[in-house]
Amino acid sequence: MTNKNSRREFLKSSTKFIGGLAVLGGTGSLNEIFANATKSTATNFEIRKIGDMKVSAVGLGCVDFAPIGYYGCQNQKSDIIKLVRRAFDNGITLFDTAEIYGMTTSEEWLGEAIAPFKNQVKVETKFGFEVAENRPGVLNSKPTHIKKAVEGSLKRLKTDHIDMLFQHRVDKNTPIEEVADVVNSLIKEGKVLRWGLCEASANTIRKAHAISPISAIESEYAIWWREPETKIFPTLEELGIDFVAYSPLARGYLTGVFNANSKFALPDRRAVLPRFSPEAMKHNAPLLELVQKWAKAKDVTPAQFCLVWALSQRPYIIAIPGTTKVPHLDELCGAKGIRMSQEEIAKFDKEYAKIDILGHRANEAIEAQIDK
C-alpha cells in the first residue's frame, strides 16, 4: 500500500491550510506566526498551548514506562525517575501517559517522578480500555467505567486533578455524546481540567466538541504518516482545537538506527507492524535518505529533524516523542530553537511527494480500534 495519493492531496490543499493558519495566528503569513511564538532559551523550549494550558513544544511520551516497555526495553523504576527529572531539567513541562501503559505502571512511576515539581509541569493521561479488568484489548468508555478509570489515575499520579484527559480510542459501543457528557461532569467537579480524543475522525470530533469543548486531539503524526493533515487538521483549525503528535520519530525508523536487516521480536510491538518488515524498511529507504539529507542541511540529527519538521508544520502542534534513555532524551532536547521556513517546507514537500511508502502504520488489530 502506498501513500502517494494522500501526499498529493495534502500538497494540493497546502495553500488553504496556510491561509487558515494566518487566520488562527492573527497575522498575514506563516513566517509571522512562528516569529510571534515564544522563543526557546538555552534551557527552555518554545512554549505552545493545549487549550488554555501552556506547555513546552516538545513533551515526553511515557508509553515505555514499565518493567518491559512497549518496544521491548527493560526498565528500572529508578532509571525512569531519573529520566523524567532530567527531562524537566531540560525544559520539558508536558508528560503524556495512560492507564494502559504498563498496565498502570507508567502512571505510578510518573507520579512519583514528578512529585518534587508537579506544580510546574502538566500531565496528560487516558482512559478507554478495560485495564482494571485485565482485558487491555477491550474498549470500554461507558460512563461508570470512565469515572472509575479517572479515580485510579488520580490516585496513581498523586494528584487531585488531571490536566488533560484523553479518550484513548473511540468506543463505537458508547455514543461519543455520552462520553463527552460524563467528562464534562468530571470537569465541573474539578477532577479533570481539559479533555480530548485520540485517533478520532472529524465527525466524532465535532459531535464531542458540541457537548463539551475539546482542547486537543492526539494522533500519530510523523513524516511518514501525514494523514491528519487532510483528515482532521481543517476541522481542528475551524474549531480552534490543538494537536498532540505521538510517534513523531516514526517509532524510531527515521532516526536511522534500523535497516532491512533489523529484526524485531515480541514484546517489541514493531514485530507486528507492517512498516517494520524487512521488505518495507528496504523499500522505504529513500524516505530515510531524505530525512538524513535535510537533517544535515539544518545541522541537526535525523531524530531532531523529525521534531523540527513536525513543529514547523503548524503552530498548534505539540510533539511527544518517547524514550527511556537519557542520551536519547538529551538528543531530542538539542534542537529547541530550530524551525523550517515556509520555503523549506514547500521544497521538502516537493521531494517527499516523489517517494512511495510501503506498508501500513498499524497491524489489523490496532487498525480496527481507530476511528475513521
3-state secondary structure of 95: strand
Task: Name the DSSP class of 118.
Answer: G
Contact 98, 125 (CB under 8 A): yes
Active-site residue flag, 101? yes
Contact 72, 268 (CB under 8 A): yes
Contact 90, 58 (CB under 8 A): no
Which cell numbers hold the place of 243? Answer: 494537536
**Distance, CA of 293 to chain centre:** 24
* Torsion angles phi and psi, residue 225, rounded to 5: -145, 95
| β-bridge partners, 165 | 125, 195
Task: Name the DSSP class of 274.
Answer: G
Q: At what angle do helices 302-313 and 342-352 cross, to 10 degrees?
A: 110
93: Cβ contacts below 8 Å, ≥ 6 apart? 45, 55, 56, 59, 120, 121, 122
Which of 70, 101, 316, 352 is labelled catalytic? Answer: 101
Question: Which residues are part of the catalytic machinery?
Answer: 101
